[in-house]
Structure 1
Amino acid sequence: MNHSPQNFRHLYYFWVVAKEGSITRAAERLGLAIQTVSTQLSQLEQAMGKALFTQQGRRLNLTEAGRLALSYADQIFLLGEQMQEAMAESDSTRIRLTVGISDSLPKLTAYRLLEIATQLPRPVRLVCYEGEFDELLADLALHKLDVVLTDRAVRSGTTLRVFSHLLSDSETIVVGAPALATAYGAGFPRSLNGAPFLLPTRNNALRGKIDEWFELQGVRPDVVGEFEDNALLTTFGRRGLGLFFAPAALAHDVEEQFGALQLGRVPQVREHFYAVSNERKIKHPAIEAILSAVHQGVLATT
């Protein structure tokens, strides 16, 4: 292997080919001749002493060495894009905060947390992405995100160097549209037997606690819907399809935004909300402000 520094143009062409899946499409994207891209790719493979692709039909597939090279290329060119954005914003009065929001996190909770950041003396520019927990953690590890807001802590033993910061520990309430609240509210929680319910899917951190509580109360609900996306669950709840669980700290917001009335409190089923970062100590001023506010009980008093 040639140990001299790699030509970043070669690496960039490799990166584009890997993303596009073919030299032809990569050449079109780059505005170059196919032969030019192919030559640059061959020179990179010679310099590394490894084949980066194998041909399968018309599509190129990454070898093991290619996947490893791509993981580093992702970081290199992502950091390059971030540098350009940082330079462009260096004269701006706004702080940029890039947030990943787990699709299982109640959107009202996400709003309340991020609302804190918008009230800083220095304006904040929010860039929000929603996705699955593991995908967001991978993006965080690659520094694509400043923080991930989620309803679960990072599993112990993970190879990712990311850290969970507890934001809130809230008991839950059972809520529903007025007609459902009237029909099933009296005699709570025994009145919930046979009641229509909208629940998170079983891969959600809260679902196991809900099922256990039903079992302890001797209640068998009629589960009419299961949802991975909390926003979709509450949309169906607003339409009166079924009762659902919500954080007790946001009872007023739930009633105001969804028209859902509280049937009863469920202190045994608690929701935990976390900020996950790349470092043990948060350094981003907007995230520091969020942590400080929630530790002073902002969520508990909204």
Structure 2
Amino acid sequence: MASIPRINYQHLMYFWSVVRTGSLTRACEELALSAPTVSSQLRILEERLGEKLLLKSGRNLVPTDVGKMVYSYANEIFSLGQELLDALEQRPSSRPLRLVVGIDDVVPKEIAYQIVEPGMHLEQSVRVVCRESTLERLIADLAVHDIDVVLSDAPVTPTLNVRVYSHPLGSCNVYWMATPALARTLRRGFPQSLDGVPALLPTDDTAIRRALDQWLDRQNVRPLPLGEFEDYAMLREFARAGHGFAPVPSVLEAQFRRDNGFVRIGMARGVKAEFYAISAERKIRHPAVIAMTDSARQLFAQK
């Protein structure tokens, strides 16, 4: 009787890491192993399966057609394994439930707080860990289950080549706001009054910036981009100091009036600030993330 081929799941994980990161070097850093060690284990995996799985493309390794199929199965295998660990971790116990949230830099921290905070009100105590970075870095951490959920202003695009799921939380209008003195001068003749005026904007690689640029083009208005910010908190501080006018999601208007003294200039009609929870699983199971997403949808439904 012929023996049935067996898969070494450690070797499969090395292959999965190389494809997911797009680089042998990055995979070795993630796995804390040397390149010769990982390379030799990949060769053993290919010999065991009897198929070529990876090809060189410049300095990177890319999967063959068979490699793509193997990667798809590996993704399911390791996602299921993580779900098992999550299920065990989330059993009722005396220790706090751990919730790791990745927050895209462009998401206003005031909104991130309003989304995350309801996740702390479970019968079991919750310990929250928040990490802020670029969406690409956070998605990489999400893919290896170092993060439970990522908050972003846009869904994940297929170009990232990572199997994750974008769950819409809702959207709201966007207002142009500024200090009272600046707002008074800009209200007259809005939106043409914005032409040539210093503006404080998110960086041009963000979804909200692209929508705002399109709105300005439709109005035939060309403000002076005095500053571009990945971190919305920095944008807010420059606006509070009177350096220019800035876009503010309507869900934050009352808070920005109260805490920062901002005044509304006018609405960027047709522009919506959108927000998403991105998870490694199609159906969210983490109880704190479920509480977060349910509350967030109610929050944006009111706006």
Q: 4+ runs of 1 displaced by more than 6 Å?
A: 3-12, 43-49, 75-90
SS in 1 for 2:267: strand
Distance 1:9 1:183 in 2: 65
Q: Check conservation: 2:107, 2:153, Cα contact below 8 A.
A: yes
Question: CA, structure 1 residues 153+6, in 2 after alignment: closer, same or farther (shift >3 Å)?
Answer: closer
Q: Which amino acid counterpart does residue 162 of structure 1 have in structure 2?
A: Y
Kindly report which structure 2 residues correspond to 1:8-23, keeping only aligned pairs within 5 A, or say none.
none
Residue-by-residue CA offset, 1:187-222 (whole Å, 9 max, x unaligned): 432322222101112111011221122222232211
Count of equivalent residues: 290
The CA deviation at 1:160 is: 1.5
- TM-score, structure 2 as length reference: 0.69
Q: Which amino acid counterpart does residue 263 of structure 1 have in structure 2?
A: R
Match of 1:200 in 2: 202
Kindly report which structure 2 residues correspond to 1:1-302, keeping only aligned pairs within 5 A, or say none.
91-155=93-157, 160-165=163-168, 167-257=169-259, 259-268=260-269, 269-297=271-299, 300=302
The CA deviation at 1:104 is: 1.4
CA-based RMSD of the aligned residues comes to: 4.6
SS in 1 for 2:207: coil
Distance 2:112 2:81 in 1: 29
Q: Check conservation: 2:187, 2:266, Cα contact below 8 A.
A: no
Distance 2:10 2:173 in 1: 54
The CA deviation at 1:110 is: 0.5
Bigger mean CA deviation after superposition, 102-111 or 263-272? 263-272
Q: Check conservation: 2:215, 2:268, Cα contact below 8 A.
A: no
- TM-score, structure 1 as length reference: 0.69
Distance 1:174 1:270 in 2: 13
Question: CA, structure 1 residues 201+223, in 2 after alignment: closer, same or farther (shift >3 Å)?
Answer: same
- Structure 1 spans left out of the alignment, 5+ residues: 13-20, 31-39, 50-60, 65-71
Q: Check conservation: 1:250, 1:299, Cα contact below 8 A.
A: no
Q: Which has the larger radius of gyration?
A: 1
Q: Check conservation: 1:175, 1:260, Cα contact below 8 A.
A: no
Identity value in percent: 38
